[in-house]
Amino acid sequence: MKKLIITDLELKGKKVLVRVDFNVPMKEGVITNDNRIVQALPTIKYVVDNGGKAILFSHLGRVKTEEDKAKNSLAPVAKRLEELLGKKVVFVPVTRGKELEDAINNMQNGDVVMFENTRFEDINGKKESGNDPELGKYWASLGDVFVNDAFGTAHRAHASNSGISANIKQTAAGFLMKKEVEFIGGAVDNPKHPFVAILGGSKVSDKIGVIENLLVKADKVLIGGGMAYTFYKAQGLEIGKSICEDDKVELAKELLKKANGKIVLPVDNVVAKEFNNDSPSMVVPANAIPADYMGLDCGPATIELFKKELKGAKTVVWNGPVGVFEMPNFAKGTKAVCELLANLEGAITIIGGGDSASAAISMGYESKFTHISTGGGASLEYLEGKVLPGVAAITDK
Ligand code: AMP
Protein backbone atom coordinates (compact mmCIF):
# COMPACT_ATOMS: atom_id res chain seq x y z
CA MET A 1 0.00 0.00 0.00
CA LYS A 2 1.43 3.36 -0.98
CA LYS A 3 -0.31 5.07 1.92
CA LEU A 4 0.73 5.49 5.53
CA ILE A 5 -0.46 2.66 7.74
CA ILE A 6 -0.86 2.63 11.47
CA THR A 7 2.44 0.81 12.00
CA ASP A 8 4.26 3.76 10.34
CA LEU A 9 3.14 6.10 13.14
CA GLU A 10 4.82 6.95 16.43
CA LEU A 11 1.94 6.57 18.89
CA LYS A 12 3.45 6.70 22.38
CA GLY A 13 1.88 9.50 24.39
CA LYS A 14 0.01 10.75 21.32
CA LYS A 15 -3.67 11.59 21.16
CA VAL A 16 -4.71 9.21 18.38
CA LEU A 17 -8.00 9.99 16.64
CA VAL A 18 -9.43 6.72 15.34
CA ARG A 19 -12.36 6.76 12.90
CA VAL A 20 -13.96 3.34 13.24
CA ASP A 21 -17.03 1.93 11.53
CA PHE A 22 -19.36 1.02 14.40
CA ASN A 23 -22.47 1.34 12.27
CA VAL A 24 -23.79 -1.95 13.64
CA PRO A 25 -27.33 -3.29 13.24
CA MET A 26 -29.41 -2.59 16.37
CA LYS A 27 -32.88 -3.61 17.50
CA GLU A 28 -34.40 -1.69 20.40
CA GLY A 29 -31.00 -0.64 21.72
CA VAL A 30 -29.50 -4.14 21.43
CA ILE A 31 -26.68 -4.88 18.98
CA THR A 32 -27.74 -7.76 16.70
CA ASN A 33 -24.36 -8.27 15.00
CA ASP A 34 -21.09 -7.03 16.49
CA ASN A 35 -18.88 -8.03 13.54
CA ARG A 36 -17.83 -4.45 12.81
CA ILE A 37 -16.71 -3.95 16.42
CA VAL A 38 -14.76 -7.20 16.33
CA GLN A 39 -13.11 -6.18 13.05
CA ALA A 40 -11.92 -2.89 14.56
CA LEU A 41 -10.23 -4.52 17.58
CA PRO A 42 -6.75 -5.04 16.07
CA THR A 43 -6.38 -1.32 15.35
CA ILE A 44 -7.69 -0.23 18.77
CA LYS A 45 -5.49 -2.77 20.57
CA TYR A 46 -2.47 -1.63 18.60
CA VAL A 47 -2.98 1.97 19.72
CA VAL A 48 -3.45 0.88 23.34
CA ASP A 49 -0.49 -1.53 23.33
CA ASN A 50 1.78 1.12 21.85
CA GLY A 51 0.99 3.71 24.51
CA GLY A 52 -1.29 5.89 22.42
CA LYS A 53 -4.45 7.56 23.75
CA ALA A 54 -7.24 6.12 21.59
CA ILE A 55 -10.04 8.58 20.82
CA LEU A 56 -12.70 6.61 18.95
CA PHE A 57 -15.65 7.87 16.94
CA SER A 58 -18.12 6.57 14.37
CA HIS A 59 -21.47 7.24 12.80
CA LEU A 60 -24.49 5.05 13.52
CA GLY A 61 -27.59 5.06 11.34
CA ARG A 62 -29.14 8.25 10.05
CA VAL A 63 -29.82 11.14 12.41
CA LYS A 64 -32.14 13.80 11.07
CA THR A 65 -34.15 14.90 14.09
CA GLU A 66 -33.73 15.14 17.88
CA GLU A 67 -35.95 12.03 18.15
CA ASP A 68 -33.48 9.99 16.06
CA LYS A 69 -30.80 10.57 18.68
CA ALA A 70 -32.04 8.16 21.36
CA LYS A 71 -32.16 5.11 19.07
CA ASN A 72 -28.82 5.96 17.45
CA SER A 73 -26.68 6.53 20.51
CA LEU A 74 -23.32 4.78 20.51
CA ALA A 75 -23.57 4.11 24.27
CA PRO A 76 -24.46 0.38 23.82
CA VAL A 77 -21.59 0.05 21.35
CA ALA A 78 -19.12 1.48 23.88
CA LYS A 79 -20.34 -1.09 26.38
CA ARG A 80 -19.90 -3.98 23.95
CA LEU A 81 -16.47 -2.68 22.98
CA GLU A 82 -15.48 -2.59 26.64
CA GLU A 83 -16.41 -6.30 26.96
CA LEU A 84 -14.56 -7.30 23.80
CA LEU A 85 -11.50 -5.21 24.62
CA GLY A 86 -11.43 -6.23 28.29
CA LYS A 87 -10.64 -2.65 29.15
CA LYS A 88 -12.40 0.51 30.34
CA VAL A 89 -13.92 2.60 27.54
CA VAL A 90 -14.85 6.09 28.69
CA PHE A 91 -17.98 7.04 26.74
CA VAL A 92 -18.57 10.77 26.24
CA PRO A 93 -22.21 11.44 25.24
CA VAL A 94 -21.47 14.53 23.12
CA THR A 95 -19.64 15.23 19.85
CA ARG A 96 -17.88 18.45 20.87
CA GLY A 97 -17.30 20.88 23.73
CA LYS A 98 -15.79 21.01 27.20
CA GLU A 99 -16.98 17.59 28.39
CA LEU A 100 -15.23 15.92 25.45
CA GLU A 101 -12.11 18.07 25.66
CA ASP A 102 -11.79 17.44 29.44
CA ALA A 103 -12.16 13.68 28.92
CA ILE A 104 -9.38 13.76 26.33
CA ASN A 105 -7.12 15.93 28.51
CA ASN A 106 -7.54 13.48 31.39
CA MET A 107 -6.39 10.47 29.35
CA GLN A 108 -3.31 8.46 30.28
CA ASN A 109 -1.28 6.52 27.73
CA GLY A 110 -3.22 3.41 26.67
CA ASP A 111 -6.64 4.83 27.68
CA VAL A 112 -9.69 4.61 25.43
CA VAL A 113 -12.30 7.36 25.03
CA MET A 114 -15.22 7.10 22.65
CA PHE A 115 -17.50 9.97 21.77
CA GLU A 116 -21.09 10.07 20.55
CA ASN A 117 -22.41 9.37 17.05
CA THR A 118 -20.77 11.76 14.57
CA ARG A 119 -24.10 12.14 12.77
CA PHE A 120 -25.60 13.92 15.77
CA GLU A 121 -23.85 16.82 14.03
CA ASP A 122 -26.23 16.44 11.07
CA ILE A 123 -29.25 17.78 12.93
CA ASN A 124 -28.27 21.41 12.53
CA GLY A 125 -27.30 21.44 8.88
CA LYS A 126 -25.58 18.19 7.87
CA LYS A 127 -22.25 19.19 9.36
CA GLU A 128 -20.85 15.63 9.41
CA SER A 129 -22.32 14.28 6.15
CA GLY A 130 -21.82 17.63 4.39
CA ASN A 131 -18.13 17.71 5.43
CA ASP A 132 -18.47 21.07 7.15
CA PRO A 133 -14.92 22.53 7.17
CA GLU A 134 -15.18 23.91 10.71
CA LEU A 135 -16.23 20.53 12.10
CA GLY A 136 -13.38 18.63 10.44
CA LYS A 137 -10.97 21.26 11.75
CA TYR A 138 -12.40 21.07 15.26
CA TRP A 139 -12.20 17.26 15.47
CA ALA A 140 -8.67 17.35 14.02
CA SER A 141 -7.69 19.80 16.80
CA LEU A 142 -8.53 17.15 19.41
CA GLY A 143 -5.72 14.82 18.33
CA ASP A 144 -2.10 14.61 17.25
CA VAL A 145 -2.50 11.98 14.54
CA PHE A 146 -5.42 10.37 12.70
CA VAL A 147 -6.03 6.70 11.97
CA ASN A 148 -8.87 5.98 9.55
CA ASP A 149 -10.14 2.43 9.91
CA ALA A 150 -13.67 3.00 8.59
CA PHE A 151 -13.71 1.45 5.12
CA GLY A 152 -17.51 1.32 5.19
CA THR A 153 -17.72 5.12 4.87
CA ALA A 154 -14.61 5.65 2.73
CA HIS A 155 -16.78 6.26 -0.36
CA ARG A 156 -18.14 9.43 1.25
CA ALA A 157 -16.23 12.63 2.03
CA HIS A 158 -17.47 13.40 5.53
CA ALA A 159 -16.09 15.64 8.27
CA SER A 160 -15.08 12.57 10.31
CA ASN A 161 -12.82 11.20 7.56
CA SER A 162 -11.73 13.58 4.77
CA GLY A 163 -12.50 16.64 6.93
CA ILE A 164 -10.09 15.56 9.66
CA SER A 165 -7.46 14.40 7.16
CA ALA A 166 -7.46 17.87 5.60
CA ASN A 167 -6.59 19.44 8.94
CA ILE A 168 -4.03 17.10 10.47
CA LYS A 169 -0.45 16.33 9.56
CA GLN A 170 -0.67 12.57 9.32
CA THR A 171 -3.54 10.24 8.43
CA ALA A 172 -2.81 6.52 8.39
CA ALA A 173 -4.91 3.50 7.47
CA GLY A 174 -5.89 1.19 10.31
CA PHE A 175 -5.52 -2.58 9.90
CA LEU A 176 -9.06 -3.12 8.63
CA MET A 177 -8.81 -0.30 6.10
CA LYS A 178 -5.47 -1.71 4.95
CA LYS A 179 -6.96 -5.18 4.50
CA GLU A 180 -9.94 -3.86 2.53
CA VAL A 181 -7.79 -1.70 0.26
CA GLU A 182 -5.26 -4.46 -0.34
CA PHE A 183 -7.82 -7.14 -1.15
CA ILE A 184 -10.47 -5.21 -3.07
CA GLY A 185 -8.07 -2.68 -4.59
CA GLY A 186 -5.64 -5.50 -5.36
CA ALA A 187 -8.31 -7.56 -7.09
CA VAL A 188 -9.44 -4.69 -9.25
CA ASP A 189 -6.10 -3.04 -10.00
CA ASN A 190 -3.75 -5.95 -10.11
CA PRO A 191 -5.61 -9.27 -10.16
CA LYS A 192 -4.04 -12.66 -10.61
CA HIS A 193 -5.60 -14.19 -13.71
CA PRO A 194 -7.85 -15.92 -14.48
CA PHE A 195 -10.01 -13.34 -12.70
CA VAL A 196 -13.69 -14.27 -12.47
CA ALA A 197 -16.41 -11.96 -11.13
CA ILE A 198 -19.80 -13.20 -9.94
CA LEU A 199 -22.52 -10.57 -9.85
CA GLY A 200 -26.05 -10.99 -8.59
CA GLY A 201 -28.67 -9.06 -6.70
CA SER A 202 -31.93 -7.60 -7.79
CA LYS A 203 -31.11 -4.81 -10.21
CA VAL A 204 -28.79 -4.13 -13.12
CA SER A 205 -29.11 -0.40 -12.48
CA ASP A 206 -27.29 -0.64 -9.12
CA LYS A 207 -24.34 -2.40 -10.71
CA ILE A 208 -23.87 -0.87 -14.16
CA GLY A 209 -20.56 0.74 -13.17
CA VAL A 210 -19.32 -2.49 -11.62
CA ILE A 211 -20.24 -4.58 -14.66
CA GLU A 212 -18.58 -2.08 -17.01
CA ASN A 213 -15.37 -1.95 -14.99
CA LEU A 214 -15.19 -5.69 -14.45
CA LEU A 215 -15.82 -6.41 -18.12
CA VAL A 216 -12.50 -4.67 -18.72
CA LYS A 217 -10.61 -6.19 -15.79
CA ALA A 218 -12.04 -9.71 -15.44
CA ASP A 219 -11.75 -12.70 -17.74
CA LYS A 220 -15.33 -13.81 -17.09
CA VAL A 221 -18.36 -12.15 -15.49
CA LEU A 222 -20.93 -14.65 -14.21
CA ILE A 223 -24.33 -13.05 -13.72
CA GLY A 224 -27.15 -14.43 -11.58
CA GLY A 225 -29.99 -13.20 -9.38
CA GLY A 226 -32.77 -10.89 -10.45
CA MET A 227 -30.57 -8.87 -12.75
CA ALA A 228 -30.08 -11.87 -15.06
CA TYR A 229 -33.66 -11.46 -16.36
CA THR A 230 -32.99 -8.02 -17.81
CA PHE A 231 -30.18 -9.67 -19.77
CA TYR A 232 -32.51 -12.53 -20.78
CA LYS A 233 -34.98 -9.98 -22.11
CA ALA A 234 -32.16 -8.31 -24.02
CA GLN A 235 -31.59 -11.68 -25.69
CA GLY A 236 -35.27 -11.94 -26.58
CA LEU A 237 -36.07 -14.68 -24.04
CA GLU A 238 -39.46 -14.99 -22.36
CA ILE A 239 -39.04 -14.11 -18.65
CA GLY A 240 -42.61 -14.45 -17.40
CA LYS A 241 -43.17 -12.48 -14.19
CA SER A 242 -39.43 -12.34 -13.31
CA ILE A 243 -38.02 -9.06 -12.03
CA CYS A 244 -36.86 -6.90 -14.94
CA GLU A 245 -35.83 -3.29 -15.51
CA ASP A 246 -37.38 -2.51 -18.86
CA ASP A 247 -35.49 0.76 -19.16
CA LYS A 248 -32.20 -1.13 -18.87
CA VAL A 249 -32.84 -3.72 -21.58
CA GLU A 250 -31.06 -1.62 -24.24
CA LEU A 251 -28.10 -1.15 -21.90
CA ALA A 252 -28.02 -4.90 -21.25
CA LYS A 253 -27.88 -5.45 -25.02
CA GLU A 254 -24.92 -3.08 -25.27
CA LEU A 255 -23.14 -4.75 -22.35
CA LEU A 256 -23.62 -8.19 -23.93
CA LYS A 257 -22.18 -6.88 -27.18
CA LYS A 258 -19.24 -5.22 -25.45
CA ALA A 259 -18.62 -8.34 -23.35
CA ASN A 260 -17.71 -10.38 -26.38
CA GLY A 261 -18.56 -13.66 -24.65
CA LYS A 262 -17.26 -12.67 -21.22
CA ILE A 263 -20.73 -12.51 -19.68
CA VAL A 264 -22.10 -15.89 -18.59
CA LEU A 265 -25.82 -16.05 -17.80
CA PRO A 266 -27.79 -18.77 -15.95
CA VAL A 267 -28.79 -21.66 -18.21
CA ASP A 268 -31.61 -22.79 -15.95
CA ASN A 269 -33.75 -21.26 -13.21
CA VAL A 270 -35.88 -22.23 -10.26
CA VAL A 271 -39.24 -20.63 -11.01
CA ALA A 272 -42.43 -20.18 -9.01
CA LYS A 273 -45.79 -18.46 -9.52
CA GLU A 274 -45.51 -16.21 -6.47
CA PHE A 275 -42.73 -14.30 -4.68
CA ASN A 276 -43.20 -16.53 -1.68
CA ASN A 277 -41.13 -19.28 -0.07
CA ASP A 278 -44.05 -21.71 -0.13
CA SER A 279 -45.00 -21.14 -3.72
CA PRO A 280 -44.54 -24.50 -5.57
CA SER A 281 -41.42 -24.33 -7.74
CA MET A 282 -39.78 -26.16 -10.62
CA VAL A 283 -36.52 -26.00 -12.56
CA VAL A 284 -36.75 -24.90 -16.18
CA PRO A 285 -34.16 -24.10 -18.87
CA ALA A 286 -33.44 -20.45 -19.70
CA ASN A 287 -35.66 -20.55 -22.78
CA ALA A 288 -38.65 -22.14 -21.05
CA ILE A 289 -39.86 -19.78 -18.30
CA PRO A 290 -43.68 -20.01 -18.40
CA ALA A 291 -45.50 -16.69 -18.76
CA ASP A 292 -47.11 -16.94 -15.30
CA TYR A 293 -43.90 -17.88 -13.44
CA MET A 294 -40.96 -15.88 -12.10
CA GLY A 295 -37.31 -16.83 -11.74
CA LEU A 296 -36.23 -16.83 -8.09
CA ASP A 297 -32.99 -18.81 -8.10
CA CYS A 298 -30.33 -20.33 -10.35
CA GLY A 299 -30.84 -23.97 -11.24
CA PRO A 300 -28.41 -26.91 -10.88
CA ALA A 301 -27.16 -26.77 -14.50
CA THR A 302 -26.16 -23.13 -13.93
CA ILE A 303 -24.17 -24.12 -10.86
CA GLU A 304 -22.38 -26.79 -12.92
CA LEU A 305 -21.63 -24.16 -15.57
CA PHE A 306 -20.36 -21.69 -12.95
CA LYS A 307 -18.19 -24.47 -11.52
CA LYS A 308 -16.64 -25.01 -14.96
CA GLU A 309 -16.04 -21.28 -15.44
CA LEU A 310 -14.45 -20.98 -11.99
CA LYS A 311 -12.07 -23.89 -12.48
CA GLY A 312 -8.49 -22.66 -12.25
CA ALA A 313 -9.50 -19.10 -11.29
CA LYS A 314 -6.86 -17.26 -9.27
CA THR A 315 -8.99 -14.29 -8.24
CA VAL A 316 -12.75 -14.31 -7.65
CA VAL A 317 -14.85 -11.34 -6.61
CA TRP A 318 -18.49 -11.89 -5.72
CA ASN A 319 -21.16 -9.26 -5.19
CA GLY A 320 -24.87 -10.00 -4.93
CA PRO A 321 -26.80 -13.21 -4.22
CA VAL A 322 -27.78 -15.34 -7.22
CA GLY A 323 -31.28 -15.94 -5.90
CA VAL A 324 -33.77 -14.82 -3.28
CA PHE A 325 -31.57 -16.25 -0.53
CA GLU A 326 -33.80 -14.85 2.25
CA MET A 327 -36.35 -17.58 1.35
CA PRO A 328 -34.90 -21.04 2.17
CA ASN A 329 -36.48 -22.65 -0.91
CA PHE A 330 -34.67 -20.18 -3.19
CA ALA A 331 -31.36 -20.02 -1.33
CA LYS A 332 -29.81 -23.14 -2.88
CA GLY A 333 -28.06 -21.29 -5.72
CA THR A 334 -26.43 -18.78 -3.38
CA LYS A 335 -25.38 -21.57 -1.02
CA ALA A 336 -23.94 -23.51 -3.96
CA VAL A 337 -21.88 -20.45 -4.97
CA CYS A 338 -20.53 -20.29 -1.38
CA GLU A 339 -19.65 -23.99 -1.62
CA LEU A 340 -17.96 -23.58 -5.02
CA LEU A 341 -15.81 -20.72 -3.77
CA ALA A 342 -15.04 -22.43 -0.47
CA ASN A 343 -13.60 -25.38 -2.39
CA LEU A 344 -11.68 -23.43 -4.99
CA GLU A 345 -8.04 -24.21 -4.45
CA GLY A 346 -5.33 -21.59 -4.81
CA ALA A 347 -7.71 -18.70 -5.45
CA ILE A 348 -8.13 -15.40 -3.68
CA THR A 349 -11.87 -15.21 -2.97
CA ILE A 350 -13.43 -11.89 -2.04
CA ILE A 351 -16.99 -10.96 -1.20
CA GLY A 352 -17.73 -7.31 -1.81
CA GLY A 353 -19.97 -6.65 1.20
CA GLY A 354 -23.74 -6.22 1.23
CA ASP A 355 -26.22 -9.07 0.86
CA SER A 356 -23.79 -11.68 -0.45
CA ALA A 357 -21.61 -11.09 2.63
CA SER A 358 -24.56 -11.56 4.98
CA ALA A 359 -25.67 -14.62 2.99
CA ALA A 360 -22.21 -16.23 3.21
CA ILE A 361 -21.91 -15.44 6.93
CA SER A 362 -25.42 -16.64 7.79
CA MET A 363 -24.86 -19.85 5.79
CA GLY A 364 -21.72 -20.60 7.82
CA TYR A 365 -19.04 -19.82 5.23
CA GLU A 366 -17.44 -16.84 7.00
CA SER A 367 -14.03 -18.47 7.43
CA LYS A 368 -13.97 -19.97 3.94
CA PHE A 369 -13.27 -16.78 2.04
CA THR A 370 -10.00 -14.90 1.76
CA HIS A 371 -11.80 -11.66 2.54
CA ILE A 372 -15.36 -10.56 3.25
CA SER A 373 -15.64 -6.81 2.99
CA THR A 374 -17.29 -4.84 5.79
CA GLY A 375 -18.38 -2.10 3.38
CA GLY A 376 -21.29 -2.61 0.99
CA GLY A 377 -21.47 0.76 -0.80
CA ALA A 378 -17.74 1.37 -0.44
CA SER A 379 -16.75 -1.96 -1.95
CA LEU A 380 -19.21 -1.49 -4.84
CA GLU A 381 -17.70 1.90 -5.65
CA TYR A 382 -14.22 0.41 -5.38
CA LEU A 383 -15.22 -2.36 -7.78
CA GLU A 384 -16.49 0.33 -10.15
CA GLY A 385 -12.94 1.67 -10.21
CA LYS A 386 -13.84 4.90 -8.43
CA VAL A 387 -11.46 6.75 -6.14
CA LEU A 388 -12.79 6.60 -2.57
CA PRO A 389 -12.37 10.01 -0.90
CA GLY A 390 -11.68 8.50 2.53
CA VAL A 391 -8.85 6.39 1.08
CA ALA A 392 -7.49 9.19 -1.11
CA ALA A 393 -7.23 11.41 1.99
CA ILE A 394 -4.81 9.01 3.73
CA THR A 395 -1.31 10.45 3.70
CA ASP A 396 0.91 9.14 0.89
CA LYS A 397 4.02 7.26 1.95
P1 AMP B 1 -28.70 -6.22 -4.15
O2 AMP B 1 -28.97 -5.40 -2.93
O3 AMP B 1 -28.90 -5.51 -5.43
O4 AMP B 1 -27.38 -6.97 -4.07
O5 AMP B 1 -29.83 -7.32 -4.18
C6 AMP B 1 -29.99 -8.25 -3.19
C7 AMP B 1 -31.38 -8.76 -3.28
O8 AMP B 1 -31.60 -9.34 -4.54
C9 AMP B 1 -31.71 -9.81 -2.25
O10 AMP B 1 -32.66 -9.29 -1.36
C11 AMP B 1 -32.30 -10.95 -3.09
O12 AMP B 1 -33.46 -11.49 -2.52
C13 AMP B 1 -32.65 -10.25 -4.37
N14 AMP B 1 -32.74 -11.20 -5.51
C15 AMP B 1 -31.85 -12.11 -5.89
N16 AMP B 1 -32.35 -12.84 -6.92
C17 AMP B 1 -33.57 -12.40 -7.17
C18 AMP B 1 -34.61 -12.76 -8.10
N19 AMP B 1 -34.41 -13.75 -8.97
N20 AMP B 1 -35.76 -12.08 -8.07
C21 AMP B 1 -35.94 -11.07 -7.18
N22 AMP B 1 -35.01 -10.68 -6.28
C23 AMP B 1 -33.85 -11.33 -6.28
| Ligand 1 atom 6 nearest Cα | 201
Kindly tell me the sign of the dihedral angle through the C-alpha atoms of 182, 185, 189, 192: positive
Residue 119 lies in a domain: yes
User: 288-319: per-residue pLDDT in tens?
Assistant: 999 999 999 999 999 999 999 999 999 999 99
How large is the average pLDDT for residues 341-355? 92
AA identity, residue 315: T
Residues 272 and 332 in one domain: yes
Residues 336 and 210 in one domain: yes
AA identity, residue 241: K
Residue at which a domain ends, from 112, 143, 178: 178
How many domains, the chain?
Answer: 2
Instruction: Provide the pLDDT for residue 33.
Output: 87
Given a cut of 80, whether residue 1 has pLDDT beyond it is no
Residues 168 and 303 in one domain: no
| Ligand 1 atom 11 nearest Cα | 324
User: 133-185: per-residue pLDDT in tens?
Assistant: 999 999 999 999 999 999 999 999 999 999 999 999 999 999 999 999 999 99
C-alpha of residue 224 to centroid of ligand 1, in Å: 9
Lowest mean pLDDT among 115-119, 253-257, 379-383: 379-383
Residues 172 and 123 in one domain: yes
d(CA 225, CA 211): 14
- For residue 229, the ligand 1 atom closest to its alpha carbon is 19
Catalytic residue among 51, 185, 377, 385: 377
Answer yes or no: 295 catalytic.
no
Catalytic residue among 15, 96, 203, 273: 203
Instruction: Provide the pLDDT for residue 376.
Output: 86
Residues 15 and 36 in one domain: yes
How large is the average pLDDT for residues 33-57? 96
Per the structure, the complete domain to which residue 151 belongs is given by 6-178
| Ligand 1 atom 5 nearest Cα | 201
How large is the average pLDDT for residues 263-271? 98
Residue 396 lies in a domain: no
Given a cut of 80, whether residue 367 has pLDDT beyond it is yes
User: 85-132: per-residue pLDDT in tens?
Assistant: 999 999 999 999 999 999 999 999 999 999 999 999 999 899 999 999
- 323 CB less than 6 Å from ligand 1? yes
Q: What is the CATH number of the domain that holds 313?
A: 3.40.50.1260
| Ligand 1 atom 20 nearest Cα | 226
Residue 388 lies in a domain: no
| Ligand 1 atom 18 nearest Cα | 226
Residue 305 lies in a domain: yes
In 3D space, the residue among 382, 367, 353 whose CA is nearest the CA of residue 36 turns out to be 353
Residues 248 and 375 in one domain: yes
Residues 271 and 207 in one domain: yes
Q: What's the mean pLDDT when you consider all of the chain?
A: 96
How large is the average pLDDT for residues 325-348? 96
Answer yes or no: 354 catalytic.
yes
User: What are the C-alpha distances in Å from 33 to residues 22, 30, 84, 213?
Assistant: 11, 9, 13, 32
Residues 166 and 202 in one domain: no
- 324 CB less than 6 Å from ligand 1? yes
**Which of 242, 324, 363 for mutating ligand 1's site (highest number of atoms within 8 Å of CB)?**
324
Residue 69 lies in a domain: yes
Residue 185 lies in a domain: no
Residue at which a domain ends, from 112, 146, 178: 178
Residue 76 lies in a domain: yes
Residues 20 and 101 in one domain: yes
C-alpha of residue 257 to centroid of ligand 1, in Å: 24
Residue 254 lies in a domain: yes
User: 183-239: per-residue pLDDT in tens?
Assistant: 999 998 899 999 999 999 999 998 999 999 999 999 999 999 999 999 999 999 999
**φ/ψ (deg, to 5) at 87:** -155, 150
C-alpha of residue 329 to centroid of ligand 1, in Å: 14
C-alpha of residue 298 to centroid of ligand 1, in Å: 12
Lowest mean pLDDT among 64-73, 144-153, 250-259: 64-73
Residues 27 and 138 in one domain: yes
Residues 162 and 198 in one domain: no
**Residue 379 pLDDT level (bands cut at 50, 70, 90):** very high
Residues 163 and 236 in one domain: no
Instruction: Provide the pLDDT for residue 28.
Output: 84
C-alpha of residue 61 to centroid of ligand 1, in Å: 23
**Residue 242 pLDDT level (bands cut at 50, 70, 90):** very high
